[in-house]
Amino acid sequence: MGSGFSSSQLTPTASIRRAARIAAAGVGFTFIVILVGVWTRLSDAGLGCPDWPGCYGSLVVPSADRAADFAPDIPLEPFKAWVEMFHRYIASGLGLVALTLTWMAWRMHRVEGYPVFASFMLLLVICLQGAFGAWTVTLKLWPQVVTLHLLGGFSVLGIFFWLYLRLAGCLKGQVQRRRPPVLWWLVGLVLVGQVALGGWTSSNYAGIACTGFPTCNQEWWPSYMDFDEGFHLTQEVGPNYLHGQLHAGARTAIHYTHRLGALALGVALFLLFISYRHQRKARGALLSALVVYAVQISLGIILVLFSLPLSVALLHTAGAALLLLILLNAGWRLGAIQSSMSSMIYKKVAHA
């Protein structure tokens, strides 16, 4: 065949269908890895193993005696160590999924419309995620690295999902590039910024720096906020950021900025919905984004009022990840509309 497949191999269509299924599984797998990572952080297990990639020099959690020989000053806490290692094990599985999709992309690179670049980009980002995972441990939960690690996880989730959409489009013969509108890109940028603020809030242990809602510490604009210290991105590394190093004013500034970011995201999502509510193909996704956003706000309020219950924090992260997927789906659909309109305009000009 023209694409270089022998009779003993899968046809291009069958290979694309298989790749789409693997990408869809990767979306679900990444979702789980992100939540396990959050569970690891919130259960204070991020430093359950003081080294990387092993745990006290072993590939599995060792005995207390062996751990004491490896790191006498860091006593073993078996539960936290197993939580940390479980996170590492399943995160490694994502690398195998990405390698599989990259190998398939290399085999299918002559097939028109196959997302080769996205497949290789996925592998690259997962490799970077592995590096950030190592630095999270070796730099003792440095907030900058922890936040970038969270953004990396969301990037992997987004690439897996976009790859799935591209592969599903290939199966339908939709090989034309999707170009979402500028407003969609702006909303996506606000969402990424809000996720980053969420990671910065969590990694600096500022989740309950504001008590009460809608006010913060009984003030609409807290009088004690230190934005310079709260967003000092070049702070020194170490010694250990477990439970945070910032004073109350800096944490309050971080928390309050996260609240303002949530407000900005709500406005952005509403404007996107209003602008494209008449587009039938995208209306459902845009409305779903608003619904998930409303749930996210409710979960955020519960987190503040009830001092960060673990189950609600996990749901809050899951909601952010779901919102990312819905926004990507909306972008895919809006991109199809934009591409169709551009094609129609080109044809009218060509026949003029």
pLDDT of residue 12: 82
pTM of the model: 0.90
* Rounded CA separation 188/279 (Å): 19
Are 237 and 243 in contact, with CB atoms under 8 Å apart?
no
Phi, psi of 55, rounded to the nearest 5 degrees: -130, 110
Q: What are phi and psi of 58, to 5 degrees?
A: -120, 160
Instruction: Give yes or no: 112 in active site.
Output: no
Measured distance CA(172)–CA(89) in Å, rounded: 36
**pLDDT for residue 4:** 44
Which of 84, 219, 229, 236 is catalytic? The answer is 84
**d(C-alpha 48, C-alpha 76), whole Å:** 8
Token code pair at residue 212:
């009460």
Specify whether the CB–CB gap between 211 and 217 falls below 8 A.
yes
Closest listed residue to residue 163, CA positions, set 131, 126, 122: 122
Q: What does the pLDDT read at residue 113?
A: 85
Cα(155)–Cα(53) distance, integer angstroms: 22
Query: Which DSSP letter does residue 229 get?
Result: H
Residue 243: left if φ>0, alpha if ψ -120 to 50, beta else—which one?
left
Per-residue pLDDT of the chain (352 residues; tens, 9 = 90+): 444 444 335 678 899 999 999 999 999 999 999 999 999 999 999 999 999 999 999 999 999 999 999 999 999 999 999 999 999 999 999 999 999 999 999 999 888 889 999 999 999 999 999 999 999 999 999 999 999 999 999 999 999 999 999 999 988 877 677 789 999 999 999 999 999 999 999 999 999 999 999 999 999 999 999 999 999 988 776 678 888 889 999 999 999 999 999 999 999 999 999 999 999 999 999 999 999 999 999 999 999 999 999 999 999 999 999 999 999 999 999 998 765 554 444 444 445 4
| Domain layout of the chain by residue ranges | 1-175, 180-352
DSSP-derived secondary structure for 211-227: -SSSSBTTBSS-S---H
